[in-house]
Structure 1
Amino acid sequence: MTENEKKELGKRIKECRLELGLSQEELASMLKMKRTNIANYEGGRIVPPGSVVLDMSKIFKVSTDYLLGRSKDKDLLGKLEGLNKMNIAFHYSDGSELSEEDIEMVYEFIDFVKSKRNKKKG
């Protein structure tokens, strides 16, 4: 990860934390870590492990791609609310319902495919 990518990740973590009205201490408590870890992530000094990025994305209700700077679209919930879940369930091979987590993974995959396509164009 480049220095600019680290800074962008830190900026997005801080932005999301502040939007929820959380202090660094409160977010650290939710993630079962020390406040200094959050300060280091936000300052772009340390990159959080993938599991922490995933946990943060769930707390902030954004995609991991948004936090990592791979997507400008952070409104994951808006996507889910605007989604016709029946259409996705209809296309699911075994006919079972998709959980919210399944739908989130579908959107993360869509973001991944879009980013790959955009890289090919550029």
Structure 2
Amino acid sequence: MKSIGDRIKQSRLALGLSQADAAKKLNISTPAFCKIETGQTDVNISRLLQISKTFKVSVVQLINGQSVTTDSSEQLDALKKELMEKEEEINKLRKKVIDLYDKLGV
């Protein structure tokens, strides 16, 4: 089973970066980056997010090796649509409240 360090290394190699190049992009020392790849250092969330952004891979892919699926993408689209509908509903309710305040003269 591959570790997060192994997947970070794969991502780095896919970009054609040396460990020194990757470390420079992440603003850390080369030995520190080497320890991340070899699993000698645990990666915190903020560092994982930074690596994900720098290497242009999802955090999910770094953690478990699975890329974001179309199902996830479709779920995200459905949730965005639902959120937009709820926001429209909230705006309508706000307008009703304002109209009621106007009728009451408040």
Task: Kindly name which structure, 1 or 2, has the bigger radius of gyration based on alpha carbons.
Answer: 2
What's the TM-score bracket when you normalise by the shorter of the two chains?
0.5 to 0.7
The residue number in structure 2 matching 1:29 is 24
The residue number in structure 2 matching 1:110 is none
The residue number in structure 1 matching 2:33 is 38
- Per the alignment, do residues 31 and 88 of structure 1 end up closer, same or farther by CA in structure 2, a change over 3 Å counting? same
The residue number in structure 1 matching 2:58 is 63
Q: CA RMSD in A?
A: 2.6
Aligned with 1:50 (options 22, 45, 56): 45
Segments of structure 2 that go 5 or more residues without pairing to the other structure are 89-106
How many residue pairs get matched? Answer: 84
- Per the alignment, do residues 86 and 8 of structure 1 end up closer, same or farther by CA in structure 2, a change over 3 Å counting? closer
Aligned-pair CA distance for 1:10: 1.0
Q: Greater share of helix residues, 1 or 2? A: 2
State the identity as a percent: 30
Runs of 4+ in 1 over 4 A off after TM superposition: 82-88
TM-score (norm 1): 0.56
TM-score (norm 2): 0.63
